[in-house]
Structure 1
Amino acid sequence: MKVNYAGTVPLSTVDWKGRAAVTIFFRGCPLRCPYCQNHPYLQGFNPVELEFVEEQIKESTLFVSAVVFSGGEPLMQKAIVPLAEFAREIGLAIGIHTNGCYPEMANELVKRELVDKFFIDIKAPLDDPKLYDKVTGFGELEAVKKTPEQITASVIKTLEIADSCDLEMELRTTLIRDFIGSREEIASIAAWISKHMKNKELTYVLQQGIPEHSLQENLRDLRVLEREELYELGKIAKSFLENVKIRTRESGDEVISDSV
């Protein structure tokens, strides 16, 4: 079996906070988020044998306790199942970074008990398909015959699957000034999570987007949201949810406390 491979980080402490992990990046993604920082991985085909990627994972086992599959979008690839099986066989915890567009594959991993933590992007309010379409750049992909409503329905289904099992879950939204992340948008996302997700232990993270690395050139000159601005937005999310963090380049992860 072939893997559309992008690269490996043999030892990462940022892709799964609290764990040392080997991170495998895949090529390919159905979205074209204008602010995407991993845009070199969005397209192209770099086929390698499954055994090559397994060896990449195996070489890190002395130093890590987990593997994280990222991208791109890892759930696009059928190889994710045998790779997760391999990771399980050698005793690694399994984390999946996903945009939520492939609920069937998420369900397959859950059924086979091949995932320990989901990291799911909520790009924009899920009850606003038009805005979700804008923020994901989905309308730019003429070959993909999906409506904005189908996109958000897939993300919601993935969230329901992750919520149906006793797994760790991190939901996150990347914020870009004047593009996504207004007070109203954060309140809408957090309220949706509070209303629809049964797992009250999940963590919601507001991530500081770095515009200078964006796929879309006209975003690269935008001023990055400052730590203090994200903290204020985190306080809005905290009014709906138990566990909220902000993630910034300057301060890393910060918990929004109950005393705010």
Structure 2
Amino acid sequence: MKVNYAGTVSISTLDWTGKSVVTIFFRGCPLRCPYCQNHPYLEGPELVELDFVKEQIKKSKPFVSAVVFSGGEPLMQEAVVPLAEFAKDLGLAVGVHTNGCYPERAAELVGRKLVDKFFIDVKAPLDDPELYGKVAGWEAYKRVGSAVKKPPEEITTAITKTIEVADASGLELELRTTAFRGFIGNEKEISQIAAWISEHIENREVTYVLQQGIPEHSLQEELREIRVLEREELLELGKIAKGFLGNIRIRTKEEGEEVV
């Protein structure tokens, strides 16, 4: 089995709060978010053997307690299942960073007890498919063959199902939104997202994280000159979300991760 592979961070303390992990990046994603930071991973094959990626995990095993699959979109690839199985056999916890577009694969990992935590992007209010489509790059990239193929309504439906799978599993769950000045993450939108989470999530321990978007790394050139949201602005958005949910955090370049 081949893996469309983007790279490995052998030891990371940023991808799972409180854990030292090895992070495996997969290539490919069905979305084209204009502010995407990992856009070099979106296109093109870089196929390697499954055993090559297993070896990357094995080399880090003495120094980490978990593996995180990220991307790109890891749940696009069938290989994530045997890799998760390999990691569990090594005694490692497994975390998955996902955009939520592949609920069936998320359910497979849950059903086979191959995942310990989901980190799911909630890019915009899930009850506003039009806005979600904008943030996911629907309008700009819908005619690009390898980009977004599903209409926004199907995207939000799939993400909702993935969140339901993760919520029902009883596993750790982190939902996160990247806030980007003038594009997504104003007070109204954060209120909508936090209210939706509060109404739809049974797990009251769910963590909701507001992430500081970094304009200069954006996929879309027009966004690269936008002024970054300051820590204090993100903190105020976090306080708005706190009106709906108990466990709120912000992530900024200035201070890293903070509890609101």
Which residues in structure 2 correspond to 1:116-195 (within 5 Å)?
Answer: 116-139=116-139, 140-142=141-143, 143=145, 144-195=148-199
1:107 corresponds to: 107
Partner AA of 2:167 in structure 1? D
Q: Which residue in the other structure is 2:211 paired with?
A: 207
Q: 2:30·2:149 contact (CA, 8 Å) conserved in 1?
A: no
Amino acid of the residue matched to residue 98 of structure 1?
Answer: T
TM-score norm. by structure 1 comes to 0.97
Give a deviation string over 1:64-122, Cα, whole Å, max 9, x none.
00000000000000000000000000000000000000001000000000000000000
SS of the equivalent of 1:101 reads coil
Q: Distance in 2 between matches of 1:123 and 1:237?
A: 15
Alpha-carbon distance between aligned partners in 1 of 2:217 and 2:194, rounded to the nearest angstrom: 26
Query: Take 2:57 and 2:255, find their aligned partners in 1: how far apart are those partners?
Result: 30
Runs of at least 4 residues off by over 6 Å = none
- State the distance in 1 between where 2:156 and 2:60 align: 36
Partner of 2:4: 4
Any unmatched runs of 5+ in structure 2?
none
How far residue 252 of structure 1 moved from its aligned partner, in angstroms, is 0.6
In the alignment, structure 1 residue 223 sits paired with structure 2 residue 227: yes
State the alpha-carbon separation in 2 of the partners of residues 68 and 158 from structure 1. 18
Matches of 1:138 and 1:193 in 2, distance apart? Answer: 23
> How far, CA to CA, are the matches of 1:148 and 1:80 in structure 2?
25
**Superposed CA RMSD:** 0.7
Alpha-carbon deviations, 1:33-82, whole Å to 9, x = none? Answer: 00000000011100000000000000001100000000000000000000
Counterpart position of 1:61? 61
In structure 1, the partner of 2:19 is: 19
2:251 is matched with: 247
Deviation of residue 165 (structure 1)?
A: 1.1
Tell me the TM-score normalized by structure 2. 0.97
Q: Distance in 1 between matches of 2:149 and 2:10?
A: 37
Partner letter of residue 43 of structure 1? E
- CA distance in structure 2 between the aligned counterparts of 1:80 and 1:138, rounded to whole angstroms: 26
Alpha-carbon separation, structure 1, partners of 2:101 and 2:169: 19
- Kindly, what percent of the aligned residue pairs are identical? 71
Counterpart amino acid of residue 19 in structure 2:
R
Distance in 1 separating the partners of 2:19 and 2:138:
33
Match of 2:238 in 1: 234
Partners of 1:34 and 1:149 in 2: how far apart? 19
CA distance in 1 between partners of 2:138 and 2:114 (Å): 29
SS at match of 2:169: coil
Q: Secondary structure at the match of 2:232?
A: helix
